Amino acid sequence: MSNKLVYKKHILTRGISIISITLILIVWTVSTNLKWVDPVFLPTPQSVWKAFLELIRDGYKGASLSTHILNSLYRLFLALILAVFTAVPLGIFCGISKYILAIFDPIIEFYRPLPPLAYYALLVLWLGIDDKSKVALLFLSAFAPLFISTVSSVQRVPQERINGALSLGASKPKVLLYIILPSCLPDIITGFRTAIGVTYATLVAAEMVAATSGIGWMVLDASKYLRSDIVFVGIILMGGIAILMDGIIRLYQHIQFSWVGKQD
């Protein structure tokens, strides 16, 4: 497929996406300005924009909007960093050794399907209601998908590739560093994208249960006072941040692993 054809398809899909978003905005604007929907349930775009400017100017409940956003992102990124530096190495070793996998797999498979808020009460009891319990909850949410994708990726590395490196005199640490890890990186990045999505959703839920700052807390608190305009601002901000983070990772994937999925 020529580059020109790929470019045309890319432009076409982008155009369709823009048209879709534009139609949603038009329907939203018309239905709310003509009072088809009660503004308590669905505010007008103008009131949402006004609330956004108000939050930028005055903040919310004694804290600026940037503070709420940064508090949420701090919890998120701290948990993700901890997950990467634990789940990926453990996943690699579990992928190499069935005996190590037999130790950790039952534990992870037990808690993985549990709703995060089901054991959040225990984390609050053990660690308190401050950021420690939230980061621990987010860490557990990110750990499982990242661990599973790493284990699966290691197990799919062709044995001939490993044997070839060993036959050429490479030591086992070098095989791990220069053969196994690079082969697994595309799948690990994909698992990281999944972990971000799961963790981000858990972050909002955690802030809605026990917090005094953050975007999730702001949305919940505003809903108590029927400030649907602020609720919509929070929802749009959360969605925008999530799209931005995923877009950065997808761009990195495209640049570093453009060969993945392509055939000669």
pLDDT digits (tens, 9 = 90+) for 138-186: 999 999 999 999 999 999 888 888 888 888 888 888 888 888 888 888 8
pLDDT at 54: 94
pLDDT at 26: 92
pLDDT at 119: 84
pLDDT at 177: 84
**Torsion of Cα atoms, 47 then 48 then 53 then 59, to 10°:** 110
| CB burial of residue 26 (10 Å; 0-12, 13-18, 19+) | exposed
Sign for the pseudo-dihedral over CA of 173, 88, 154, 181:
negative
pLDDT in tens, 107-116: 999 988 888 8
- Terminal-to-terminal C-alpha distance of the chain: 11
Structural contact between residues 91 and 152, judged by C-beta atoms closer than 8 angstroms: no
What does 231-252 look like in DSSP terms, one character per residue? HHHHHHHHHHHHHHHHHHHHHH
CA angle (132, 134, 135) in 5-degree steps: 65
Structural contact between residues 184 and 92, judged by C-beta atoms closer than 8 angstroms: yes
Give me the half-sphere count of Cα atoms (radius 13 Å) on the Cβ side of residue 157: 27
Structural contact between residues 143 and 87, judged by C-beta atoms closer than 8 angstroms: yes
Residues in the chain: 264
Q: Locate the DSSP E strands across 31-90.
A: none
10-residue block means of pLDDT along the chain (264 residues)? Answer: 66 86 91 85 92 93 91 92 94 92 92 84 84 90 93 88 82 84 88 89 79 86 90 91 88 76 48
Two structure tokens written together for 12 = 């076409």
